[in-house]
Each structure stands twice: as C-alpha cells, then as structure tokens.
Amino acid sequence: MFSPASSLYFHFPFCESKCHYCDFYSLGREKTEAGDADRFEVALIREIELRGKRGEIAKVPDTIFLGGGTPSMTPPESMERIFRALSEFCSPNENTEWTMEANPSSISLEQFKAYRGLGINRVSMGVQSLKNDHLLKLGRVHNENAALTALDTLFSAGMTNVSTDLLCGVPGQTTDDLKDHLERLTNFPIKHLSIYLLTLPSHHKMYPDLPKDDEQLKHLLFIDEFMRKKGFEHYEISNFAKPGFRARHNLAYWTGSSYLGFGPSAHSYSAEARARFKNLSSLHRWADRLLVENELPVEWTEELNDEQLDLEKWMLALRLETGFPVEWLKTPRQLEKSKHLLLEGLIERHPAHADRFRATPRGFALSDTLIRELS
Ligand code: SF4
C-alpha cells in the first residue's frame, strides 16, 4: 500500500521500430498485433482504477510523466479516455508538470494541439542526433529534417516547455558534430536538454567502436561549457535547463521522493515503505494480471536496507548540482578521500551554500569514481 504519490509515471510500450541500442521495454510494430493498443488502454485504465481505489494517487499530482516507448503514437482520443479515468482519482492543475515523451516520426500539429488541450504542458523529444548516418547506425526511424520539422511543429502547437534528448558517445561522433547539433537545437526556444552517453553491452556489435574514456571526457566537458554559455544550468549529470525549467518529475526520482508507475515494466518507489516495485515487463502478462486476474501487475518488490539507502543517497546527490552537505563526510576515510577529490578538482565547495560540496563538471563526467570514493 502506497501513501498517495504525487509523481505519476505511465509507460507506453509501443514504438515504430526497435532502436539498436534500446534497453527499455518497448515493442516495434513488427512485434505487435491488431488489438494490442486497445487492450493496453483498457488494462491501463484498470490499473489506474485499482491504484486509485487504494488511495495511492495524490489528489493534485505535482508531476505526470508519459514515457515509453513512444507515447506520442497514442491517438489523442485514447489518451483522453486514459486521462478521464485518471481524473476520477485526481485533479491535475496548471501547476502540474505534465510531460509527454515524443519521437519525431509521430508528431503532427493537430495531434499536439489536441494533447495540449488535454493538459499536457511539456514535451521531451528524442532527437538523439542531427546526422543522418549516425541516426541510421542507431536504428532510429527519423532523419535530421524530420527532427527539425517536428520541433517546429511542437512550438506551433503551443508547446512552450520543450526538452530535447541527444546522445553522445556515438561511434564516429566528433566535437564538431556535437557543436553543430547543440547550436541548431539551442536556436529553437527549448527550455531543457538531456544528453545521455550511449552505453552498450560488451557483446553489442557497436561496442568496440565506442569512444575511449579521454575522448568521452573531452566531449562531456565541451557540452558543459557550450550549454552554460547558452544560459542553461547544468543541474544534473546529463541534464541542462534554462532557469526555472528543471525537470520536476526527474528531480522527484533524484531526490528520493515517492513515485508511482503504471504500465508494463514501470517502476515505483515508496519513500515511506523504503521499497521499490516493478511491474511485469511483458505487455500480455501485465494486461492478463489486470484484466483476467484483476490484480496489481507487480513483478517484484524490494525493501531497501540501510546500506542500500546510504549508497543510493550518495549516488543521487553526486548526480545533482546541489551536491551534498558537509556533515555527510563522517568517517576518516571519507574525509581523507574528499581532500584528494578537492585537490583533483572533482568536487568543490558549493558556490551558493558554504555548507555543501558538489561535483565539478569534470566530477560529473567521472561520477563512478566519486561514488566509489565517497560512499
Ligand atoms: S524510440 Fe526510444 S523507447 Fe523506442 S525503441 Fe527507440 S530508444 Fe527505445
């Protein structure tokens, strides 16, 4: 049983086709059958009803995030039925940050005007690259022109709070490529940019071509400098925002707040219960559990012990620009290590809060080292 959660996540598992690097639970069109999308909608509504009747949804959610997969493949009429079910249990208002993830291949003016009318007020679009051969290599279905046209369309549809996702560490990508992509994206009035490092398992065919650590570090430091000059705050390892536009939903994850997930493979976290939950990662098993057994589709639950919570606390704090309070450095080992990290320029005193330390841009890029040394 969850205390009412004010951050809600909905996982929409459908995609045009599966990208070569993707490890989210998502199904390309070739893996779906007629009727899957309808059954998904009915099952999602059942999940909302089950959670809502248990009093687990806050009356006024602070954030709603529609992720996936590609939620922008869901027709507005279907989205409206889902939101109507949700409105039985909560009343999002104009202060609710209501984000939809979108891909350039599924963006049209009419559709986004309709989503805006339903209350969605933030869009996070997966651009990933503005170079066609890199997009092809990644298995993306859009090209450079489609990404730029889609961005234009989002603004024309009245979406003013737009974030874009880029990938760095793509084999063959150069600093000039990144400069070009960042320049073209920041020429739009975007408010937020996420840049994720491409990570692949060692058996992946592109793995041997991934850039070496020093090349990656050079790129990450370049991105940090470029985005700061453009007026963005580097507020989390992979995220940049114009002042006032940090992603509140993701901040709930990163600051250890509770969140409730719906849909196949969705995760939830209850801060009160100190426990994580994960839904079944199969559209059919998830839907059967809800529609046939009329049960919550939870696959596993994990209660976190003190040691796990402590590690998590460090991992989250070292991701964020706000850093951690000085009093977290307790043991002689932590005090000694922190001195070295300060000398090496990987952490620094927070310029606005003398009682806190934080990772420097170089520290962000080497965060695994920081976590290992300080936790
Ligand atoms: S669009 Fe996103 S979720 Fe879908 S397959 Fe590609 S990376 Fe995965």
- In tens, the pLDDT along 72-88 reads 999 999 999 999 999 99
Does the pLDDT at position 1 exceed 80? Answer: no
C-alpha distances out from residue 139 to 105, 167, 182, 206, 252, Å: 13, 13, 21, 12, 31
> Does 367 or 38 have the greater pLDDT score?
38
127 CA to centre of ligand 1 in angstroms = 11
Q: How far apart are CA 194 and CA 266, in angstroms?
A: 21
What fold characterizes domain 7-254?
A: TIM Barrel (3.20.20)
Is 67 close to ligand 1, i.e. is its CB under 6 Å away? no
Q: Residue 316's pLDDT band (boundaries 50, 70, 90)? A: very high
Q: Report pLDDT digits (tens) over 186-245.
A: 999 999 999 999 999 999 999 999 999 899 999 999 999 999 999 999 999 999 999 999
Q: Report pLDDT digits (tens) over 180-198.
A: 999 999 999 999 999 999 9
Does the pLDDT at position 31 exceed 80? Answer: yes
Is 31 close to ligand 1, i.e. is its CB under 6 Å away? no
Pairing of strands 298-303, 275-279: antiparallel
Residue 15 CA: nearest ligand 1 atom is: 4
Is 173 close to ligand 1, i.e. is its CB under 6 Å away? no
140 CA to centre of ligand 1 in angstroms = 8
The predicted pLDDT at position 315 comes to 93
Phi, psi (degrees; rounded to nearest 5) at 254: -80, -15
pTM over 0.75: yes
Is 68 close to ligand 1, i.e. is its CB under 6 Å away? yes
Does the pLDDT at position 2 exceed 80? Answer: no
Q: How far apart are CA 260 and CA 218, in angstroms?
A: 37
Q: Report pLDDT digits (tens) over 281-307.
A: 999 999 999 999 999 999 999 999 999
Q: How far apart are CA 351 and CA 320, in angstroms?
A: 14
Contact 99, 66 (CB under 8 A): yes
Instruction: Give me the chain's average pLDDT, please.
Output: 96
The predicted pLDDT at position 13 comes to 98
The predicted pLDDT at position 3 comes to 86
Q: What is the mean pLDDT of residues 116-126?
A: 97
Does the pLDDT at position 176 exceed 90? Answer: yes
Does the pLDDT at position 22 exceed 90? Answer: yes
For the chain, what are the domain ranges? 7-254, 323-374
